[in-house]
Amino acid sequence: MMTFAIWIENTPFFAYVRGSGYEFPTLLALHLVGLAFFGGMILLTDLRLLGWGLRGTTIAGVVNTLRWPKRIGFVWVATCGFILGMSKAEGYFLNTFFQIKMILFVLVLVHALVFRPIVYNHPEELDKTPEIPGRAKLAGALSLFLWLSILTMGRSIGYMNSPAGLHYTELLKSILNLGKG
């Protein structure tokens, strides 16, 4: 895993992003802009599933309308996040908050696999009952919790330095220099 991290962060593109002046923070800002826009749509969906907002619109209306914008937003955020992550892969792979964030992404995938067949793929069914079904509320609450946790872990990454990561990079550089010599 670390071999892969060292290799990918030292490929010309990711090394350029890491070593650049304003490219890295620009990507970081784009990552957060996408997160705000995309997160807003997740929030609207979750609020509707929980019955805390958009009560004037059917659940099907909200879920179906926001499906594609959310997917586009996810691709935007994930692309920026991937470039940021791989440009400092070694340090991030050793960062506990980054590891927790990745585990949370796996849980988002599990959430999708569990709730798609019973909530998101058939939202019309949820509008037939006078009360919002428990499974829909559970899907909304878990989604809200997972995404807020991802946001928290994402910000926390910056507070943990990984000196070991630097050590690996230095080690690789010295090996490469030895080869040249």
Partner 1 sequence: MLITNPINAFELVFPIMEVFHIAGFAVAIGVTAAVDFRILGLVPLQQTPSQLAKSTGFWMLGGLLVAIFSGFELYTSDPDMYYTNWSFLIKMACLIVAIVLNYTIHRKVVQEDGSSGGAKLVACISLLLWGAVIFGGIFIAFIRGGL
Report the interface residues with partner 1, using CB under 8 A.
22, 25-26, 28-29, 32-33, 35-41, 43-44, 47, 53-58, 61-62, 65-66, 69, 148, 151-152, 155-156, 159
- Least separation in angstroms between CB 158 and partner 1: 8
Four-point Cα dihedral 32, 95, 4, 163, nearest 10: 120
Q: Side chain identity at 41, as an amino acid letter?
A: M
Distance, in Å, from the CA atom of 51 to the CA atom of 81, rounded to the nearest integer, reads 31
- Least separation in angstroms between CB 169 and partner 1: 21
Distance, in Å, from the CA atom of 141 to the CA atom of 121, rounded to the nearest integer, reads 18
Residue nearer to partner 1 on the CB measure, 19 or 117:
19
Residue nearer to partner 1 on the CB measure, 10 or 57:
57
Residue nearer to partner 1 on the CB measure, 6 or 62:
62
Distance, in Å, from the CA atom of 175 to the CA atom of 10, rounded to the nearest integer, reads 14
Residue nearer to partner 1 on the CB measure, 12 or 21:
21
Burial class (CB in 10 A: 0-12, 13-18, 19+), 179: exposed
- Least separation in angstroms between CB 123 and partner 1: 13
CA distances from 157 to 75, 84, 131 (A): 21, 12, 40
- Least separation in angstroms between CB 171 and partner 1: 28
